[in-house]
Protein backbone atom coordinates (compact mmCIF):
# COMPACT_ATOMS: atom_id res chain seq x y z
CA UNK A 1 0.00 0.00 0.00
CA UNK A 2 1.49 3.37 -1.00
CA UNK A 3 1.63 6.44 1.24
CA UNK A 4 -1.44 8.05 -0.31
CA UNK A 5 -3.54 4.92 0.27
CA UNK A 6 -2.34 4.63 3.86
CA UNK A 7 -3.23 8.27 4.50
CA UNK A 8 -6.71 7.85 3.00
CA UNK A 9 -7.32 4.71 5.09
CA UNK A 10 -6.18 6.50 8.24
CA UNK A 11 -8.49 9.44 7.58
CA UNK A 12 -11.47 7.15 7.01
CA UNK A 13 -10.79 5.29 10.23
CA UNK A 14 -10.39 8.53 12.14
CA UNK A 15 -13.70 9.84 10.78
CA UNK A 16 -15.49 6.62 11.70
CA UNK A 17 -14.14 6.65 15.23
CA UNK A 18 -14.59 10.34 15.96
CA UNK A 19 -18.33 10.56 15.27
CA UNK A 20 -19.45 8.27 18.13
CA UNK A 21 -16.94 9.92 20.48
CA UNK A 22 -18.27 13.36 19.59
CA UNK A 23 -21.84 12.21 20.16
CA UNK A 24 -20.90 10.67 23.49
CA UNK A 25 -19.22 13.90 24.55
CA UNK A 26 -22.39 15.99 24.02
CA UNK A 27 -23.90 17.04 27.33
CA UNK A 28 -27.31 15.61 28.17
CA UNK A 29 -30.31 17.40 29.64
CA UNK A 30 -32.66 15.83 32.17
CA UNK A 31 -35.68 17.19 34.04
CA UNK A 32 -33.53 18.52 36.89
CA UNK A 33 -32.09 21.22 34.60
CA UNK A 34 -34.93 23.72 34.62
CA UNK A 35 -32.96 26.69 33.28
CA UNK A 36 -31.51 24.66 30.41
CA UNK A 37 -34.96 23.42 29.44
CA UNK A 38 -36.22 27.02 29.57
CA UNK A 39 -33.36 28.14 27.32
CA UNK A 40 -34.24 25.48 24.76
CA UNK A 41 -37.94 26.41 24.95
CA UNK A 42 -37.05 30.07 24.25
CA UNK A 43 -36.00 29.06 20.75
CA UNK A 44 -39.75 28.96 20.04
CA UNK A 45 -41.06 31.94 21.99
CA UNK A 46 -41.05 33.70 25.32
CA UNK A 47 -40.72 31.60 28.47
CA UNK A 48 -40.85 32.52 32.16
CA UNK A 49 -39.63 30.23 34.92
CA UNK A 50 -42.27 30.02 37.63
CA UNK A 51 -43.18 27.83 40.58
CA UNK A 52 -46.46 25.96 40.71
CA UNK A 53 -48.74 25.67 43.73
CA UNK A 54 -46.89 22.59 44.99
CA UNK A 55 -43.53 24.39 44.99
CA UNK A 56 -42.20 22.59 41.92
CA UNK A 57 -40.73 24.39 38.90
CA UNK A 58 -42.98 25.34 36.01
CA UNK A 59 -42.45 27.11 32.70
CA UNK A 60 -45.02 29.58 31.41
CA UNK A 61 -44.49 29.79 27.66
CA UNK A 62 -45.85 31.42 24.55
CA UNK A 63 -45.62 30.06 21.00
CA UNK A 64 -47.08 32.63 18.65
CA UNK A 65 -50.47 33.55 20.10
CA UNK A 66 -50.76 30.32 22.09
CA UNK A 67 -49.96 30.03 25.79
CA UNK A 68 -48.75 26.79 27.29
CA UNK A 69 -47.12 25.44 30.43
CA UNK A 70 -44.43 22.90 31.17
CA UNK A 71 -44.93 21.04 34.44
CA UNK A 72 -42.16 19.16 36.25
CA UNK A 73 -42.93 15.88 38.00
CA UNK A 74 -41.14 13.54 40.39
CA UNK A 75 -39.42 16.46 42.12
CA UNK A 76 -37.85 16.42 45.57
CA UNK A 77 -38.32 19.64 47.53
CA UNK A 78 -38.86 21.55 44.30
CA UNK A 79 -35.72 20.22 42.62
CA UNK A 80 -34.18 17.11 41.03
CA UNK A 81 -37.28 16.52 38.92
CA UNK A 82 -37.60 13.43 36.75
CA UNK A 83 -40.13 14.11 33.97
CA UNK A 84 -41.90 17.01 32.29
CA UNK A 85 -45.29 17.53 30.72
CA UNK A 86 -46.20 20.16 28.14
CA UNK A 87 -49.77 21.32 28.47
CA UNK A 88 -52.23 23.83 27.08
CA UNK A 89 -55.99 24.36 27.35
CA UNK A 90 -58.68 26.36 25.58
CA UNK A 91 -62.11 27.68 26.35
CA UNK A 92 -64.37 25.48 24.22
CA UNK A 93 -65.15 27.33 20.98
CA UNK A 94 -68.50 25.51 21.01
CA UNK A 95 -68.11 22.49 18.78
CA UNK A 96 -65.59 20.35 20.66
CA UNK A 97 -67.10 17.22 22.20
CA UNK A 98 -65.97 13.80 23.34
CA UNK A 99 -66.08 12.45 19.78
CA UNK A 100 -63.80 15.29 18.68
CA UNK A 101 -61.07 14.45 21.19
CA UNK A 102 -61.49 10.69 20.75
CA UNK A 103 -60.92 11.06 17.02
CA UNK A 104 -57.82 13.16 17.67
CA UNK A 105 -56.38 10.58 20.06
CA UNK A 106 -57.10 7.77 17.64
CA UNK A 107 -55.61 9.45 14.58
CA UNK A 108 -52.73 11.54 15.95
CA UNK A 109 -49.45 10.25 17.35
CA UNK A 110 -48.45 13.29 19.41
CA UNK A 111 -50.47 15.14 22.02
CA UNK A 112 -53.16 13.59 24.25
CA UNK A 113 -56.46 15.48 24.19
CA UNK A 114 -59.37 15.39 26.62
CA UNK A 115 -62.21 17.53 27.94
CA UNK A 116 -61.83 18.89 31.45
CA UNK A 117 -64.57 19.12 34.07
CA UNK A 118 -65.98 22.24 32.38
CA UNK A 119 -66.07 20.62 28.95
CA UNK A 120 -63.07 22.57 27.67
CA UNK A 121 -60.34 20.97 25.51
CA UNK A 122 -56.93 20.25 27.02
CA UNK A 123 -53.83 19.04 25.22
CA UNK A 124 -50.88 17.37 26.94
CA UNK A 125 -47.60 15.86 25.78
CA UNK A 126 -45.47 13.92 28.25
CA UNK A 127 -41.70 13.89 27.71
CA UNK A 128 -39.39 11.16 28.97
CA UNK A 129 -36.06 12.69 29.99
CA UNK A 130 -34.77 9.67 31.94
CA UNK A 131 -30.95 9.54 31.82
CA UNK A 132 -30.98 12.75 29.78
CA UNK A 133 -31.36 13.68 26.13
CA UNK A 134 -29.27 15.94 23.92
CA UNK A 135 -30.26 19.59 23.59
CA UNK A 136 -30.84 18.88 19.90
CA UNK A 137 -33.32 16.15 20.82
CA UNK A 138 -35.09 18.39 23.33
CA UNK A 139 -35.27 21.24 20.81
CA UNK A 140 -36.86 18.86 18.32
CA UNK A 141 -39.40 17.83 20.98
CA UNK A 142 -40.39 21.47 21.54
CA UNK A 143 -40.67 21.89 17.79
CA UNK A 144 -43.06 18.90 17.71
CA UNK A 145 -45.05 20.58 20.48
CA UNK A 146 -45.23 23.77 18.39
CA UNK A 147 -46.58 21.80 15.44
CA UNK A 148 -49.05 19.89 17.61
CA UNK A 149 -50.41 23.14 19.09
CA UNK A 150 -50.92 24.62 15.61
CA UNK A 151 -52.62 21.52 14.26
CA UNK A 152 -54.82 21.08 17.35
CA UNK A 153 -56.02 24.68 17.31
CA UNK A 154 -56.98 24.31 13.66
CA UNK A 155 -58.61 20.96 14.43
CA UNK A 156 -60.86 22.38 17.18
CA UNK A 157 -61.62 25.54 15.21
CA UNK A 158 -59.86 27.86 17.61
CA UNK A 159 -58.71 31.06 15.90
CA UNK A 160 -56.27 33.34 17.74
CA UNK A 161 -56.17 35.91 14.91
CA UNK A 162 -57.46 39.23 16.12
CA UNK A 163 -57.77 38.05 19.72
CA UNK A 164 -57.03 41.02 22.03
CA UNK A 165 -54.10 40.72 24.38
CA UNK A 166 -55.14 39.19 27.68
CA UNK A 167 -54.19 40.91 30.95
CA UNK A 168 -51.23 39.46 32.85
CA UNK A 169 -52.06 35.95 34.00
CA UNK A 170 -51.17 34.21 37.26
CA UNK A 171 -48.89 31.17 37.12
CA UNK A 172 -50.52 27.86 36.32
CA UNK A 173 -51.42 25.63 39.23
CA UNK A 174 -51.88 21.93 39.71
CA UNK A 175 -54.98 20.29 41.05
CA UNK A 176 -54.85 18.91 44.55
CA UNK A 177 -54.98 15.17 43.81
CA UNK A 178 -51.83 13.06 44.02
CA UNK A 179 -50.67 10.01 42.15
CA UNK A 180 -49.35 6.84 43.70
CA UNK A 181 -45.80 8.26 43.65
CA UNK A 182 -46.86 11.40 45.50
CA UNK A 183 -46.78 13.61 42.41
CA UNK A 184 -49.87 15.60 41.44
CA UNK A 185 -52.25 13.46 39.44
CA UNK A 186 -53.22 16.13 36.96
CA UNK A 187 -52.32 19.60 35.78
CA UNK A 188 -54.23 22.53 34.37
CA UNK A 189 -53.17 25.29 32.00
CA UNK A 190 -52.41 28.93 32.61
CA UNK A 191 -54.34 32.09 32.00
CA UNK A 192 -57.35 33.73 33.57
CA UNK A 193 -58.82 32.05 36.61
CA UNK A 194 -62.33 30.64 36.29
CA UNK A 195 -63.89 29.01 39.33
CA UNK A 196 -60.61 27.80 40.81
CA UNK A 197 -59.10 26.64 37.53
CA UNK A 198 -57.10 28.47 34.91
CA UNK A 199 -57.34 28.61 31.14
CA UNK A 200 -54.39 28.99 28.82
CA UNK A 201 -56.22 30.31 25.75
CA UNK A 202 -59.61 31.95 25.42
Tens digit of pLDDT for each residue in 38-91?
Answer: 999 999 999 999 999 899 999 999 999 999 999 999 999 999 999 999 999 999
Which residues are CB-contacts of 135 (< 8 A; sequence separation ≥ 6)?
A: 26, 27, 29, 36, 40
Look at strands 121-128 and 193-194 and give their pairing: unpaired
Residue ranges and CATH numbers for the domains of the chain are 29-198 (3.30.1460.10)
- 111 pLDDT band, cuts 50/70/90, is very high
| Of the candidates 185, 161, 162, the residue with the CA atom closest to the CA atom of residue 174 | 185
> String of b and e for 149-174 (b: at least 16 CB within 10 Å)?
beebbebbebeeeeeeeeeebeebbb
Range with the poorest average pLDDT among 2-6, 27-31, 72-76, 143-147: 2-6
Quote the pLDDT of residue 160: 54
Amino acid sequence: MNSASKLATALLLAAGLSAPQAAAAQSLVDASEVQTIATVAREFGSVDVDTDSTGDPMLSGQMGETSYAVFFYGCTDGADCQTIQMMSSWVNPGEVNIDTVNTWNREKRFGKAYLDDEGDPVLEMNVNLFAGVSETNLSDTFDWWRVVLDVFEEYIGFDTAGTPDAPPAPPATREAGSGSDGSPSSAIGMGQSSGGKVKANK
